Amino acid sequence: MKLNEIKDNIGSSISRKRIGRGIGSGTGKTSGKGHKGQKARSGVSIKGFEGGQMPIHRRLPKRGFTNINRINYVELNFDRIQNLIDNKKLDPKKIINHKTLLDLGLINSPKTKVKLLAKGQIKNKIDIEVSAFSKSAKEGIEKIGGSIALLDNKKSNVNQIKKSEV
């Protein structure tokens, strides 16, 4: 094998289409753009143009609103906690906090905000720290003799969790 015998594999490279090189090329004269008009010129952007008629994106009403300050919570229900306690994955004598939930895989990040909801029944007395809770969840925890603490989910809390992991 010699250097002058080396060739590309068949079909590995496609030569570019040479437009405007005479009628024999198949793309001569108008270079595949048809005859005159706005679309035959360069620098034309007429997406959504409907020939002077009001475009559909302007005819349809704009509705809805996205609140950029919305806080998304991961919901944690009583039945989920009780199920974890029954399966011996959660110790009711210890405080349930972000680090505990992170270790169990219920939340993905220390920054995740958790809201406790009162769906289901809880039988064990627990101490829990969450970002938010419902009124009925607070009543349910206090009824069985447990305590509920509100977390401030700011950078200080995240740093505490990261320090405790190290």
pLDDT over 80 at 157, yes or no = no
Residue 80 domain boundaries? 73-165
As beta bridge partners, residue 96 has: 128
> Would you say residue 42 lies in a domain?
no
In a domain? residue 136: yes
Which of 26-30, 38-42, 59-63 is predicted least confidently?
Answer: 38-42
pTM of the model: 0.55
pLDDT exceeds cutoff 80 at 28? yes
Could you tell me if residue 84 is inside a domain?
A: yes
The predicted structure's pLDDT at residue 43 = 79
Tell me the pLDDT band of 165, cut-offs 50, 70 and 90.
low
Task: For residue 6, tell me if it sits in a domain.
Answer: no
Separation between Cα atoms, residue 22 and residue 31, nearest integer Å: 9
> Once rounded to an integer, what is the mean pLDDT over residues 54-76?
92
Q: Is residue 62 part of a domain?
A: no
Identify the pLDDT of residue 151: 84
Say what the pLDDT of residue 156 is.
44
Q: What is the pLDDT of residue 67?
A: 92
Identify whether 129 is part of a domain: yes
- Inside any domain, residue 49: no
Residue 8 lies in a domain: no
The overall average pLDDT reported for the chain is 87
CB-based contacts of 161: which residues, under 8 Å, 6+ apart? Answer: 98, 99, 102, 110
- CATH number of the domain that 98 lies in? 3.100.10.10
Tokens representing residue 93 in the block: 């004598």
Total count of domains within the chain: 1
For the segment 37-53, the average pLDDT, to the nearest whole number, is 83
Could you tell me if 115 and 101 are in contact, meaning their C-beta atoms sit under 8 angstroms apart?
Answer: no
Whole-number pLDDT of residue 127: 92
